[in-house]
Amino acid sequence: MIRHRMRPLPFLSRSSGGTLTFESAPFERGRLTEAGVRYHVTDHLGSVRAVIHGNASTTTYPLAGFYSVNDFAPFGTKSTSSASSYLSLASTGSTVSLRDGFTGQEDQGPDFGVGYSDFGARQYSPVLSRWLVPDPMGEKYYDVSPYAYCTGNPVNLKDPDGRAIYIFYGDNKTPFFYNGTQEESSIPDDPYVKAVISAYKYNKENWIREGYTESCPSTDLIEKPKGEVCVSVIKDYNSGDRYFRENGGNPVIIWNPLEGLETDTNAILSPATLFCHEADHALDDVGKKHEAHLKRQGTSTHKGFINDEEYRVVTGSEQKMAVANGDIPKGRKTRNRYTKDSSHTIYTKGVTSNKKREKKATN
């Protein structure tokens, strides 16, 4: 079995005698196979609770088209109430195993005979309720075991690929992963978590309304996580850097939901707009883009800009987001320069506001 990670769709193929043939490819609501479409019925965590054949007339009601119905224990083991083979694979001309399971990850049992789930960066054992290797980002939260799955809260939280949980709040050690799909009841009652979610929703709505064809960086940060970016929302941060890589190589966004920015053009950028700005840096710095990102950081070919990476973001996503959020009118630039003294932090009346607050907020 060969796995291909090609855009726009990853797929699997079989090799026989040097010839590759298509096996299957996942899509948002299921899996395409050589014998047709399988639709997945999922729960709030993305766990596949039922697999249904695209042609529901292949068997009789009430099991019309069902390959399997799955019930999961909190940490991912299938319960005894689960059932399979309502509809045999052979009857549909398919030989593709039913591999999609807990939180939508691939169960390694059908293909390889091991009881693990493949999360990409790590393998997970639902029987042990533990990862098989430590969290490569475990130094961010010493009070959580590097082998623990979702900090011991698998009913409300999920891990996209075994590497990172995105929002740190409170004392900056309490993690919460948010991908835009969780129920309101699962979201911590914390003002900083809610501020991140507010900025994400505000940016997404305005970006779409403005009709931009490119994807919004802060939307992608939440909905299409790379597993490497952590968002830390804190009250104060004095270094001046809002995005950086730690000594261990982990990308980090530092974002204060009460801090806006007054620029050299007298524009005031809201905290939500700045969240989009930093999200763009972070997403550009992961995966295959990392080397190009570093090169732009170390190069300055645009007059008045500290480096080419800041020029890319300021003239790109920041400009678009500021217009969409109403920080500036169309035709006006957010900045003419980006240097250490070309703008200064101001405190705004809220996450989505570009109105100055006279006194520093204590929230």
Instruction: Yes or no: say if 193 and 187 are a contact pair by the CB < 8 Å rule.
Output: yes
Structurally, the chain folds into a number of domains equal to 2
Report the percentage of the chain scoring pLDDT > 70.
Answer: 70
Tens-digit pLDDT profile for residues 93-131: 566 677 788 888 888 877 777 888 887 778 888 888 888
- How many CB atoms are located within 10 Å of the residue 49 CB? 16
With 70 as the cut, is the pLDDT of residue 37 above it? Answer: yes
Between residues 255 and 88, the one the model is more confident about = 255
Nearest 5°: phi and psi at 285? -95, 5
Same domain, 178 and 303: yes
251, 311: one domain? yes
Residue 133 domain-assigned? no
Asked if the structure places residue 161 within a domain, the reply is: no
Structural domain of 181: 167-347
Q: Tokens 């609770």 — which residue?
A: 49
**Residue 135: inside a domain, yes or no?**
no
CA distance 112 to 281: 39
Mean residue pLDDT of the chain comes to 77
Structure letter (DSSP) for residue 340: T
Whole-number pLDDT of residue 240 = 53
Instruction: Say if residues 179 and 164 touch (Cβ distance below 8 Å).
Output: no
> Is there a domain that residue 145 lies in?
no
Per-residue CA distances from 91 to 20, 26, 40 (Å): 24, 21, 19
**Strands laid side by side in the 130-131 sheet:** 106-107, 117-118, 123-125, 130-131
Same domain, 179 and 52: no
* 356 belongs to a structural domain: no
In DSSP notation, 310-336 reads: HHHHIIIIIHHHHHHTTSS-TT--S-S
Q: How do residues 167-197 score in pLDDT, each as one tens digit?
A: 777 766 677 777 777 778 878 888 888 999 9
Residue 147 lies in a domain: no
Q: Give tens-digit pLDDT for 260-301.
A: 999 999 999 999 999 999 999 988 887 557 789 889 999 999
DSSP state string for 155-224: TT---SSSS---EEETTTTEEE---S-S-GGGS-S-HHHHHHHHHHHHHHHHHHHHT-SSPPHHHHHHHS
pLDDT one-digit tens code per residue, 227-250: 555 555 555 545 455 665 554 455
- For the ranges 24-33, 215-224, 306-315, the maximum mean pLDDT occurs at 306-315
Q: How confident is the model over 150-165, as a mean pLDDT?
A: 63
First CA to last CA across the chain, in angstroms? Answer: 54
Helix (H, G, I), strand (E, B) or coil at 309: helix
**236, 305: one domain:** yes
Which pTM was predicted? 0.59
- Token pair recorded at residue 170: 């409170």
Same domain, 190 and 65: no
Give the per-residue pLDDT at 233.
59
Q: Tell me, what DSSP letter sits at residue 105?
A: P
**Under 8 Å between Cβ of 295 and 307:** no
Q: Is residue 143 part of a domain?
A: no
Report, as an integer, the average pLDDT of 199-209: 96
Using a 10 angstrom Cβ sphere, with 0-12 exposed, 13-18 middle and 19 or more buried, the burial of residue 272 is: buried
Quick one: pLDDT at residue 248?
A: 45
Within 10 A of 320 (CB to CB), how many other CB atoms are there? 20
* In-domain check, residue 92: no
Question: What tokens were used for 260?
Answer: 């806006």
pLDDT tens, residue by residue, 13-25: 555 566 777 777 8
Higher local confidence (pLDDT), 162 or 112: 112
Whether residues 32 and 119 fall in one domain: yes
Does 209 lie in the same domain as 107? no
Are residues 119 and 214 part of one domain?
A: no
Residues 112 and 172 in one domain: no
Q: Do both 199 and 340 map to the same domain?
A: yes
Q: Which residue do the tokens 């319960």 mark?
A: 79
Pair 243, 339 in one domain: yes
Same domain, 179 and 302: yes
Q: Tell me what pLDDT residue 62 has.
A: 44
Q: Could you give the dihedral angle defined by the CA atoms of residues 94, 99, 104 and 108, in that order, rounded to the nearest 10 degrees?
A: -160
- Asked whether residue 142 carries a pLDDT value surpassing 80, the answer given is no
How confident is the model over 25-35, as a mean pLDDT?
78
